[in-house]
C-alpha cells in the first residue's frame, strides 16, 4: 500500500482485475476514521478499487475530521469552511494521485461519503466534476459555501447522485437533506433520493439500495 499520497488510506483491490478498474472513494464522518466505512468494503461490487481515506485533521483521542465544527456560547454549530475547502481540494488531489498509483479508470470514479464525508463529496463533485462521475451522499447536506460551481458543463452533465437520509436523524435534520436533490436537479443532474426510518446512520436497506444504484 503506497502511503506517500496526500491522505492515509486503506485499499481493497478489485476481485475482478481489468486493465483499468473503476474506483470507489469512501469518505468517513466527523470524529471517525478510515476503518469505519471500510467495514462495508467486502460487500461492495467486485470490479471496484475501494479506497477508504482518513480525514486530515486529528480529533483526539482517535478520530479525524475533514474540518472543525465549533460551538458558540448558545451551542450553535459553525463549520470551519476554510478547512472544509482545503479538504475539498485535498480530496481532488488525492483522486489524481490514486489514478497515478493504481490501475484506475479515471472516467469511472464514485465518491461515497457519510455525514461530513457526504458534505465534502457534494463539494468535490460540483467543484471538480471532471474528477468524479457518481456520488453517494449518505446522511449529509449541500453546503454551498464550500462549493465553487464548475463551469465545465460537459463534466457536470456526466454526474449522477444517490442521496439518502434517516427521517429520525438528530445530527443533521432531514429537512436539510431534502433540499439537496432539488438543488442538484436544478443543475440538470439526475439525483435519486431515499429516506429511511432511522437516525444518523446507514440502514441495511439503504446500503442495499446504494449497491443496486452503483451496479446500474
Residue 102 has pLDDT above 80, yes or no: yes
Mention every residue, 6+ apart, whose C-beta is less than 8 A from residue 29.
Answer: 36, 114, 115, 116, 117, 118, 139
58-62, 102-106, 156-160: lowest mean pLDDT where?
A: 58-62
Convert the pLDDT of each residue in 24-77 to its tens digit.
Answer: 999 999 999 999 999 999 999 999 999 999 999 999 888 999 999 887 777 677
Q: What is residue 70's predicted lDDT score, i.e. its pLDDT?
A: 82
Mean per-residue pLDDT for 128-133? 97
56-60, 161-165, 177-181, 195-199: lowest mean pLDDT where?
A: 56-60
Q: What is residue 35's predicted lDDT score, i.e. its pLDDT?
A: 95
The model's pTM is 0.95
Q: What is residue 36's predicted lDDT score, i.e. its pLDDT?
A: 93
CATH fold of the domain at 11-215: Rossmann fold (3.40.50)
User: How do strand 63-65 and strand 57-59 relate by DSSP bridges?
Assistant: antiparallel
Contacts within 8 Å (CB) and 24+ apart, 34-42: 34/8, 34/9, 34/10, 35/10, 36/114, 37/112, 37/114, 37/117, 38/10, 38/12, 40/207, 41/10, 41/12, 42/12
Residue 1 has pLDDT above 70, yes or no: no
Q: What is residue 92's predicted lDDT score, i.e. its pLDDT?
A: 98
Residue reference for cell 476514521: 33
DSSP-assigned beta bridge partners for residue 72: none
Q: What is residue 128's predicted lDDT score, i.e. its pLDDT?
A: 98
**Among 163, 169, 162, 167, residue whose Cα is nearest residue 196:** 167
- Taking the C-alpha atoms of residue 118 and residue 102, their distance in angstroms, rounded to an integer, is 24
- Taking the C-alpha atoms of residue 214 and residue 197, their distance in angstroms, rounded to an integer, is 22
Domain boundaries, the chain: 11-215
Q: What is residue 20's predicted lDDT score, i.e. its pLDDT?
A: 96
Amino acid at each position: 500500500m503506497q502511503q506517500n499520497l496526500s491522505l492515509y488510506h486503506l485499499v481493497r483491490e478489485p476481485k475482478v482485475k481489468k486493465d483499468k478498474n473503476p474506483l470507489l472513494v469512501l469518505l468517513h464522518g466527523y470524529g471517525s476514521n478510515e476503518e469505519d466505512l471500510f467495514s462495508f468494503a467486502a460487500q461492495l461490487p467486485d470490479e471496484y478499487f475501494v479506497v477508504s481515506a482518513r480525514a486530515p485533521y486529528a480529533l483526539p483521542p482517535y478520530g479525524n475530521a475533514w474540518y472543525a465544527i465549533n460551538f458558540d456560547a448558545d451551542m450553535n454549530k459553525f463549520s470551519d469552511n476554510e478547512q472544509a475547502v482545503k479538504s475539498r481540494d485535498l480530496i481532488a488531489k488525492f483522486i489524481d494521485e490514486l489514478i497515478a498509483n493504481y490501475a484506475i479508470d479515471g472516467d469511472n470514479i464514485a465518491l461515497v461519503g457519510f455525514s461530513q464525508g457526504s458534505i465534502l463529496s457534494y463539494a468535490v463533485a460540483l467543484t471538480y466534476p471532471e474528477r468524479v462521475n457518481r456520488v453517494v451522499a449518505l446522511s449529509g447536506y449541500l453546503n454551498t459555501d464550500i462549493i465553487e460551481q464548475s463551469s465545465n458543463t460537459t463534466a457536470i452533465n456526466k454526474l449522477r447522485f444517490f442521496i439518502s437520509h434517516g427521517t429520525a436523524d438528530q445530527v443533521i435534520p432531514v429537512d436539510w437533506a431534502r433540499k439537496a436533490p432539488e438543488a442538484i436537479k436544478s443543475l440538470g443532474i439526475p439525483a435519486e433520493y431515499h429516506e429511511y426510518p432511522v437516525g444518523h446512520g446507514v440502514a441495511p436497506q439503504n446500503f442495499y439500495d446504494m449497491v443496486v444504484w452503483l451496479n446500474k
